[in-house]
Amino acid sequence: MCGIAGYLRLRPESSAPISPNVAREMLAVIRRRGPDGEGQWRSADDLCWLGHRRLAIVDLHTGDQPMCNEDATIWTVFNGEIYNFAALRAELEAQGHRFKTRCDTEVLVHGYEQWGLSALAARLQGIFAFAVYDTVERTLSLARDPMGVKPLYWWSDGNALLFASEMKSLLRHPALRDRRVNRAGVAQVLVTRYVSRPNTMFDGVSRLPEGCCIAVDVSGRVPPAPVRYWDVRYRSEQIDLEEATEQLDTLLKRTVDMQLMSDVPLGVQLSGGVDSSLVVALMDSLRREKGDPARVKTFSVGFDVAEFSELGYARKVAERYGTEHHEITVGFKDFAEELPFLAWIYDEPMGEPPGIPTYFMCREAKKHVSVMLCGEGADEQFGGYSKYMFDQFSAALDWMHSGVRNVLLRGLASGLPFKGRRLRSMAEILAIADAPRRFASWYGGFDTELQASVLSDAMRNEIGDGGLAQTFDEIVNSCDSSSALDRFLYCDVHTRLVDDILVKSDRMSMGAGIEARVPFLDHKVVEFAATLPQHLKVSGLSSKIVLKRLAERYIPRETIYRRKVGFTVPLTRWFAGPWRGLIDDVLLSDRCLDRGYYNPDVVRGIVRNHVQSRVDREQGIWLMLVLEIWHRLFVDDDGSEAAVGRVKADFARSLDTLLAA
């Protein structure tokens, strides 16, 4: 797992070669993604530069990048793992291609020669973002894995093109010195926690969408849209629960086995929930089958607030399988002390508070392993979130006029007590009759109705809802199923999963030099899940039905069917207690409120109502707080690592008071 970057002069007469200093800076800023080495290559005509930071996982001695084919006409830089590379290599060798290493990267240069970009990407089974430069055709090609596990950002002004694993790498180039905030992105973050791809927080900077590739010729135009080489298709098949469970068992075991490919130690991120516990069980089963005496290494993180910690559940799973278990406990002081640094690591506003404890876990795990498997993505494939169950009730309200529905449910929500945050949030969201707008609002900071009151008049007049309704409407209507659940799952795959959950997983693991692998997001598993009928996923108040039935083979029922706590951060009490000074000094500062994004009176009222235990808006407060910290790092300052220290100094008084508490 690595960090990549590159530069292409589209119009040589209007663009200069990238300077060695800028090239070094672009790689230095992502060095945590690849602490084991650095490589660069320039084309002889100085049109193309490719850079690479390496985290050595497979072929430790001959896998350095950039890497080329036999005659050095095709070059690549690659971030990820190709789990089926051995089979592809054998196929390519049968076609006469000669390999000089045993690493998966080399499959890309020969595969590109043999099949072309789209056909190559469609053959790959793994997690990846890569670039290929053809020196003969003078073409730069970019591709991203089917589910968007690995990130890839790019920018072009028509004269040159930049790409990198992280946006902060692009920002080191002088062309982005005068970058502008995407104001629609600010509005989106308040509702969804993220900016929907292909957009980012900066105008002109794009993310290559999942399952897509793009090719750009020197002296040619950047294509108006990437080419999609893969997408999940829902086609419900007739299958009973027992047969589905058997097929899933076989498929997951094969997938986990593939993902154990490594020349360095591996571990598991164990939350104590069904998904990660199942990964541990399958790893241990495979270990025993192979006669491997080494115990599975597991890592868990919890809070110093007992009711928010699942360490006890994780410990039971670790004991059942005799793992080499490690626990990390995190408190509000850890959060506060590392917040500016991790906001910088995150690149975009840190919508997921659990990203911070995830980083602490990965940092500890790095002392023992360089690869960790995790359970991310199972909920989006098998219907695990409570929102999938609750959204079923929307159909029962469709008989009601949308205006009456809105007034009735919001009135109900306003009468709920402070501790009824989840129920109030559910009522507010079910008040929204339009499915795409409702899908956007689940698990966000504010729903689309509240967003309008938080934004300033100028922002609402300029960008409306930030394009959320249109974005979600287009995605939902791209789903090939008429099932409401399938459309919701499809929407999550192409929004919250790729733009939020996987960003958290990637940044926090790679920020600690750890490669995170996701068995549930292998596209073969995703394709299987898409064939399952709804009643094997969600039925009434039962969720993740087939996956839980499979888990019964490996995990005690009390672990599977206990009430789901989730990886929840105790923000409600922190914001009303030890973090209050930080909120006042950062979120309620004139500097923040004068940016023109918010209605200051509404923001002050939200904080006041929370502190006085009237209305719990912890998620909205968090999003506005991290938006401001992001703004100070990447807009007010230059986005370099040195900016972290300067931002810390901005609110040193409140931070010192908090840490001394």
Q: What is the pLDDT of residues 592-643, one digit of tens each?
A: 999 999 999 999 999 998 888 888 888 899 999 999 999 999 999 999 999 9
Q: Report how far residue 638's alpha carbon sits from residue 555's, in angstroms, rounded to the nearest whole number.
A: 49
Stated length of the chain: 661
* Confidence check: pLDDT of 173 > 70: yes
> What CATH number corresponds to the domain at position 513?
3.40.50.620
User: Which of residues 560, 580, 614 is at a domain's end?
Assistant: 560
**Sign, Cα dihedral of 505, 196, 643, 582:** negative
486: in domain: no
**Do 112 and 13 have their domain in common?**
yes
**518 lies in the same domain as 451:** no
pLDDT digits (tens, 9 = 90+) for 16-42: 999 999 999 999 999 999 888 899 999
Residue 531 lies in a domain: yes
The answer on pLDDT for 307 being more than 70 is no
| Residue 235 maps to a domain | no
Break the chain down into helix, strand, coil percent, rounded to 5. 50, 15, 35
Q: Which residues contact 438 (CB under 8 A, 6 or more apart)?
A: 391, 394, 429, 430, 432
| pLDDT tens track for 259-277 | 988 767 889 999 888 999 9
Q: Is residue 397 part of a domain?
A: yes
* Count of domains forming the chain: 4
Is pLDDT at 649 greater than 60 in this prediction? yes
Identify any residues that bridge with 213 across adjacent strands, giving them in sequence order: 143, 227
Pair (268, 379) in one structural domain: yes
Quick one: which of 614, 616, 527, 529 has its CA closest to 570? 616
How far is it, in rounded angstroms, from Cα 67 to Cα 87?
20
565 lies in a domain?
Answer: no
User: Is 236 within a domain?
Assistant: no
DSSP 40-82: EEE-TTSSEEEEEEE---SSTTT--SSEE-TTS-EEEEEEEEE
Q: Are residues 215 and 287 in the same domain?
A: no
Q: In angstroms, how far is CA 346 from the centroid of its own chain?
A: 10
Residue 233 maps to a domain = no
The residue range of the domain holding 425 is 390-480
Task: Return the SS3 of 134.
Answer: strand
Identify whether 128 is part of a domain.
Answer: yes
Q: What percent of the chain has pLDDT over 90?
A: 65
One domain, residues 362 and 501: yes
| Amino acid at position 414, single letter | S
Contact 543, 529 (CB under 8 A): no
What distances in angstroms separate CA 476 from CA 342, 448, 587, one per listed residue?
33, 17, 34
456 lies in the same domain as 552: no
**Mean of per-residue pLDDT scores for the chain:** 90
508 and 584, same structural domain? no
542 shares a domain with 455: no
pLDDT value of residue 393:
77
209 & 72 share domain = yes
Nearest Cα neighbor of 435 from 448, 453, 424 is 448
- 217-236 confidence digits (pLDDT tens): 998 888 889 999 999 999 88
396 shares a domain with 373: no
Residue 431 pLDDT: 81
379, 397: one domain: no
CATH code at 207?
3.60.20.10
**Cis? peptide before 198, omega within 30° of 0:** yes
Question: Could you tell me if 357 and 304 lie in one domain?
Answer: yes
Dmax (CA) for the chain in angstroms is 73
Average the pLDDT over 354-368 and give the result: 92
